[in-house]
A and B are shown apart, each in its own frame.
Chain A
Amino acid sequence: MKESKRQQILRCYAWAAPSLLLILMIVIFPILYTGYISLTNMNVYHWTNYTFIGLKNYADALLVFDNGFLKALGMTVVWTIVSMVLQLVVAFVLASLLNIKGLKLKNLYKTLLIFPWAMPGYVSILLWKTGMFNSQFGLLNQWMAKIGHGPVRWLNGDMSAFWCCTLVNLWLALPFMITIIDGALQSIDRSFYESAVLDGANWLERTFYITVPMIKPIIGPSVVITVFTTFKQFDVVYLLTQQVGAKTGADIHTIMTYAYENAFITNNYGYSSAVSIIIFVMLILFSVVINMKPKEVRD
């Protein structure tokens, strides 16, 4: 059973090697290669005979407003804030209502409300697009017709498309948030409320002085993860408005759809790679700022 320290270390690496080599080749190397492409003028005309152009792509993205990256970044920030605020407020209200004493059908409601989480995300988004928002046979326009209103092109204008995307994203994300907040609410000791009621605290005071502070640390990590996924959101905006060959005309881009558009639609690979690297650096900075490290690495 005794073996030298060296042997032990070697064995650890031998066990980890297949996974790490795989990650090195399929994940890390392409990221480095993306960094390499970002320094070239690779595009559809220069697919193999590209040349180095230094940091020009980065300058184009970060310094020239008309190229659209900064606009997409601004939109992504607004999108993340709006989505997160709505999600947290709505999920908190719904979870609180679910926890009202004597609500017998609570579990049934929870199961039904969780459905959007259980559906494959891209299927739901496409169902929203064709089933609800389609200007010809979408349900929303059928309802509009019922109240005597002409068809509305929901996804065409920037503003209405943005709110449609926000609505769909809310629909997709609420079940997770409700589940997390519901779990947190149930972990609060009832006796806190009882003594607060005795002290004459009203509902609003109880919410702000007991509920919110108590659930904050519990839901914190999940909220942080949701901020990340919202910031990185691609599917909702892309599938609703920016699909190749089926653009709705709304000019809204998150940074992710922007990077994709430049890579696979306008085929400006060098520029798109620079955008990718900028996004990656931003994600790294975020992680560092909020200290999202594995528990044990932190101490």
Chain B
Amino acid sequence: MKFYILLFPFMILLFITTGCSNRPIKANNSGFFNDYKNLDLSKKIEVYKYKDILVSPVIVVSNVEKKNQTDSQKKLYKEISDYLTLALKKVVDSNKMYNLVEEESDHSLKLESAISAVEVHFEDEKWNNNTPVSLGMDVVSYNAYRDESVRLLGESRLVDSWSSEVFTRTRSIQKDFVISLVNEKIEFKNLKPSLDSWITTFEKNLSN
């Protein structure tokens, strides 16, 4: 009896200190942006001050732990990053408002970007279409791919190269391009239409 009398307050204390919720905290974004608030942030960029853009390598947020990545996955993610980085550089280079540069300066912007995958269910109002999913097969993503519920998410921001002040943030789910597995793997050629779609969206945003 004494044991239970002593145990009870301990359990209460444990419960309080560990939080009331019995559920783990879930991630509802890729992690590239801390959150998706103020996504319409778009400060008027003082064009006379900022003419140069430095393009950072595109980050691939795979949601596959590095230690678990296969060689083919590592190769794929590098291929995606290289392809997108080169494409974004071409977009900046061909834009009449900006110059593509390779070094930071006090009058340059830095373009930071990331690509990831999300599980979507557009017909379900309760489902969060920002739910991250692995760029590859795992027990969680297996049926999302089978059900054709995976899309690419492209995120980018323009920041002052030196102060890191954020001027624009954009995110875009490529809704029309289903990402599928081929023999339980993702192949670059299956991703390419979606990647190209995001590049086109980026180009339009940069010109606005």
Partners in one complex: no
